[in-house]
């Protein structure tokens, strides 16, 4: 195999792994944001029970 072909495969692998990693990170962040928003909305709706 030529060096150019190996380099192309390597770049494609990095791109695929990068996309998987990015989507995983976005998924984790959106889950944490959803939890934060749920707590925030609950605190707004029930100010008596909130500790803030």
Per-residue pLDDT for 1 more than 90? no
* pTM recorded for the entire structure: 0.52
Q: Is 20 exposed, middle or buried (0-12, 13-18, 19+ CB in 10 A)?
A: exposed
Span 4-13, mean pLDDT? Answer: 92
Say which residue, 35 or 30, is predicted with more confidence. Answer: 30
Tell me the CA distances in angstroms from 24 to 16, 19, 30, 36, one per residue in order.
Answer: 12, 8, 10, 18
Read off the pLDDT of residues 36-50 as tens digits, 9 standing for 90 and up: 888 888 877 665 554
Read off the pLDDT of residues 14-31 as tens digits, 9 standing for 90 and up: 999 999 999 999 999 999
């Amino acid at each position: 195999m030529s060096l150019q072909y190996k380099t192309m495969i390597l770049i494609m692998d990095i791109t695929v792994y990068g996309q998987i990693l990015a989507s995983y990170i976005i998924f984790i962040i959106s889950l944490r944001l959803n939890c934060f928003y749920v707590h925030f909305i609950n605190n707004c709706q029930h100010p008596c029970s909130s500790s803030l």
